[in-house]
Every structure is written in structure tokens, then in C-alpha cells.
């Protein structure tokens, strides 16, 4: 039988013979794949070989799992954090928060006179700053807040056992109107200086920032301030300059309710549940009484009559007052009284 060739390779099902060059290429690819594979220990190359016998043993306290950490390592961590500061960034409404890389790039010009420093995001809008010397910490702390344009960085002292999730929010961004400023005082530095007496000034509105020749509104200035609601509200500020002083009236816009008892934003102390506890059992009982209906029969014998008058009274209980809906008097012969 004569052999024939198929002109279309896709239909050729006959086994193909590979040459020596193709075999060498396949072997080299297999070797490269084997070389690329790494063990788990090679991937996790920062694992420290600590014997389990040196680690503390866990125990149960009640139904809770507990373990004691090495005190020497904790003291070493405290020593490493002795030049740290905590910080919180206050972003204006509508602003997009920066990631940690962009934040550090933005803070680099502000800290150009500092030695080596670092910043870590620890959650809930809080950050931890690490410095190499106490002098750098003092230099940074000399400024109460740093403008990020937009946003404001507020630094405060480092404390151990700091948990961002356990921090309560006492501050709120509030628009404040400043009355009594004539036009020569409408300068951003002057307005921010006055606003800083009650909080952290963030920005002014568009009407306040307009140039003098383009300004059409001059009754009051308006500035957005991050306020600590635990502080006493002030409605007047004495503004002083060389040889003259005057009062500026403050008016707060949409000031949120703040409970001075439980330190929570959203309700007033007059309706605080912790001061006026609700008796849940009493409420449940009243709800059950409203749904409860009791039918009663009262038999009243009348002496001297052959029969006995039966007074059937249907009453509904559940409200504070018992109301009789229907009273029926029936005469029944003796022996048939129930």
C-alpha cells in the first residue's frame, strides 16, 4: 500500500519524533522550574528558631485563654518607643485620605531638619511617629498641629498600651461664624488665630477667602473648626492688638448634641439612658397587660327571692382603669345556679 501525506497538520494524528535539540530544551525548562520552587522555610526567611521550651505556657482563667509574655522583651519594646509620638489626621469633609507613602512624602519638607524618622498607620485615623532623638521629638512637639493642605495633623504624647479601637471620639468639625470683624481683619492668619482659641481651624468658606475687591458679603467670617466637645463652649473671644481690644461673637452652626455623662456624641445628657435606666421588665408587663382580656362571672344571691340574680360582668384588664363593657342581670330558678 502506498503511503500518502496529509497537507493539513491539524489532521495528522501520527506520532511525531522529537529531535535531540527539542529534548534538551524540555530538560532545561524542567530544571528551571525545579530551581524556581522554594521551600516554605526559604520563603519565610525571617523565622527565628526559638525552642518551644523557652516559650510561656498558656492557661485558662475561667473560660478565657490567657498567656504571660516575657517581661524583658516588653521592657525592650518600651525602650525602643521612648522617642515616639502619637498623631491623628483630621481630614475635611469630602477629602480623600492619603496612603502612608503619600503622607510621608508630604511630611518630608516639614521634617527636613530632622534626622531619621518613620511613621506607621495604626488604624482608626491614628498614626505613630518614631524619631531617633529626644531633640527631634521636642522640635516636632513645638508645633501643635501641622497643615497638610487639606487636612491637619495633630500630635500628642506617646503612651503605652495605646489602642486606637478603644479611643472615644470627643471632637467634631463645626462651622463657626465670627461676628464683629471689620474688613481689615479678614486675613487668614488673623481668622485662624481667633479660631484656634476654641479648636483647630481647618479652612474658611469661599465667601471669606475671596479677595477684597471681589468680596460681596462681609457680615461675618465663616471657618471650619475641629472642636473638642468636652470643653466649655465659648460665645465671646477678646481679640487684642497693640493699643486696642474688642470682642468677637461666636455662633456655632449645627452643633451636634454631646452627653457630658457618657461622653458620646449623638444625645443630650437630659435623655442619657445611663442616668435614667429603663425598666425593661415593667415595659414587657405593660405590653402583656394590654393584650390580656379577662372575662369574669359574679354571682350575687338575693335573699327573699325564689330565684337568684346572676350578675354577669365582662371586664377588660390591661389598662390602668378597669372598664365594664356590659352588665346582664338574669333570674334563674334555684338549683340551676352555677
335, part of any domain: yes
**Count of C-beta atoms within a 10 Å radius of residue 110:** 14
Per cent of the chain over pLDDT 90 is 24
User: Which span out of 82-86, 156-160, 320-324 was modeled with the highest average pLDDT?
Assistant: 82-86
Give the model's pLDDT for residue 8. Answer: 61
pLDDT band of residue 337 (cuts 50, 70, 90) is very low
Q: What pLDDT sits at residue 338?
A: 44
| Predicted confidence (pLDDT) per residue in 62-95, tens digit | 899 999 888 999 999 999 999 999 988 888 777 8
CA distance 223 to 195: 7
In this structure, the dihedral spanned by the alpha carbons of residues 227, 255, 169 and 263, taken in order and rounded to 10 degrees, is 110
Q: Does 310 score more than 60 pLDDT?
A: no
Residue 245 lies inside a defined structural domain of this protein: yes
- Dist. CA 62–CA 59, nearest whole Å: 10
Rounded to whole angstroms, the Cα distance separating 325 from 313 reads 8
Rounded CA separation 282/91 (Å): 46
User: Residue 270: phi, psi to the nearest 5?
Assistant: -70, -20
CB 165 within 8 A of CB 123: yes
Whether 106 and 132 map to the same domain: the answer is yes
Backbone angles phi, psi at 329, to 5 degrees: -105, 125
Please provide the average confidence, as pLDDT, over all residues in the chain: 76
What are the pLDDT digits (tens) for 220-253?
999 988 888 888 899 999 999 999 999 999 999 9
pLDDT at 322: 43
What's the rounded mean pLDDT across residues 317-332? 47
What is the tally of structural domains in the chain?
A: 3
Give the pTM: 0.48
Q: What is the pLDDT of residue 115?
A: 84
Do 263 and 176 lie in one domain? The reply is yes
- Tell whether 286 and 319 lie within a shared domain: yes
Is the sign of the CA dihedral 279, 284, 290, 295 positive or negative? negative
Among residues 312, 314, 317, 315, the alpha carbon closest in space to that of 328 is found at 312
> Is residue 200 in a domain?
yes
Q: Are residues 159 and 176 in the same domain?
A: no
Same domain, 252 and 236: yes
- The answer on 159 and 233 residing in a single domain is no
207 belongs to a structural domain: yes
- pLDDT band for position 324 (50/70/90)? very low
Residues 80 and 134 in one domain: yes
pLDDT for residue 3: 59
Domain stop point among 212, 237, 271? 271
Residue 6 within a domain? no
Last residue of a domain, one of 143, 165, 187: 165
The model's pLDDT over 7-49, given as tens digits with 9 standing for 90+, comes to 666 555 565 555 555 555 555 655 555 555 666 656 656 666 7
CATH of the domain at 134: 3.30.70.330
Beta bridge partners of 64: 61
- Domain for residue 230, yes or no? yes
What confidence score (pLDDT) does residue 78 get?
93
Do 187 and 266 belong to one domain?
Answer: yes
Picking from 165, 191, 225, the residue at the C-terminal end of a domain is 165
Say if residue 282's pLDDT is above 50.
yes
Give the closest residue to 93 by CA, choosing from 178, 173, 183, 194.
Answer: 173
Q: Can you give the residue range of the structural domain that contains 235?
A: 171-271
Convert the pLDDT of each residue in 180-208 to its tens digit.
999 999 999 999 999 999 988 888 898 99
For residue 94, the tally of other CB atoms under 10 A from its CB is 6
Specify whether 147 is located in the same domain as 186. Answer: no
Do the beta carbons of residue 125 and residue 192 sit within 8 Å? no
Grade residue 320 by pLDDT with cuts at 50, 70 and 90.
very low
Residue 291 buriedness (CB in 10 A; 0-12 / 13-18 / 19+): exposed
Q: What is residue 26's predicted lDDT score, i.e. its pLDDT?
A: 59
Amino acid at each position: 500500500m502506498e503511503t500518502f501525506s496529509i497537507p493539513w497538520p491539524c489532521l495528522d494524528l501520527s506520532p511525531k519524533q522529537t529531535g535531540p535539540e527539542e529534548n534538551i530544551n524540555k530538560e532545561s525548562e524542567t530544571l528551571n522550574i525545579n530551581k524556581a520552587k522554594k521551600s516554605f522555610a526559604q520563603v519565610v526567611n525571617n523565622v527565628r528558631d526559638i525552642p518551644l521550651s523557652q516559650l510561656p505556657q498558656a492557661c485558662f482563667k475561667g473560660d478565657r485563654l490567657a498567656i504571660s509574655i516575657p517581661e524583658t522583651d516588653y521592657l525592650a519594646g518600651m525602650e525602643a518607643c521612648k522617642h515616639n509620638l502619637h498623631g491623628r489626621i483630621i481630614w475635611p469633609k469630602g477629602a480623600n485620605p492619603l496612603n502612608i507613602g503619600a503622607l510621608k512624602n508630604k511630611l518630608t519638607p516639614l521634617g527636613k531638619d530632622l534626622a531619621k524618622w518613620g511613621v506607621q498607620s495604626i488604624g482608626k485615623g491614628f498614626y505613630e511617629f518614631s524619631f531617633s532623638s529626644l531633640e527631634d521629638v521636642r522640635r516636632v512637639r513645638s508645633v501643635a498641629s501641622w497643615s497638610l493642605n487639606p487636612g491637619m495633623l495633630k500630635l500628642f504624647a506617646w503612651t503605652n498600651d495605646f489602642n486606637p479601637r478603644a479611643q472615644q471620639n470627643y471632637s467634631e468639625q463645626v462651622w463657626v461664624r465670627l461676628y464683629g470683624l471689620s474688613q481689615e481683619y479678614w486675613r487668614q492668619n488673623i481668622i485662624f488665630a481667633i479660631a484656634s482659641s476654641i479648636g483647630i481651624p481647618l479652612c474658611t468658606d469661599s465667601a471669606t477667602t475671596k479677595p477684597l475687591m471681589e468680596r460681596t458679603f462681609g457680615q461675618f467670617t465663616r471657618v471650619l473648626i475641629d472642636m473638642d466637645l468636652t470643653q466649655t463652649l465659648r460665645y465671646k473671644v477678646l481679640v487684642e492688638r497693640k493699643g486696642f481690644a474688642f470682642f468677637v461673637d461666636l455662633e456655632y452652626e449645627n452643633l451636634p448634641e454631646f452627653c457630658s455623662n457618657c461622653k458620646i456624641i449623638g444625645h443630650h445628657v437630659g435623655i442619657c439612658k445611663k442616668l435614667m435606666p429603663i425598666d425593661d421588665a415593667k415595659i414587657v408587663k405593660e405590653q402583656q397587660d394590654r393584650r390580656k382580656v379577662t372575662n369574669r362571672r359574679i354571682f350575687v344571691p338575693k335573699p327573699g327571692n325564689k330565684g337568684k340574680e346572676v350578675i354577669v360582668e365582662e371586664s377588660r384588664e390591661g389598662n390602668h382603669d378597669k372598664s365594664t363593657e356590659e352588665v346582664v342581670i338574669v333570674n334563674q330558678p334555684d338549683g340551676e345556679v352555677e
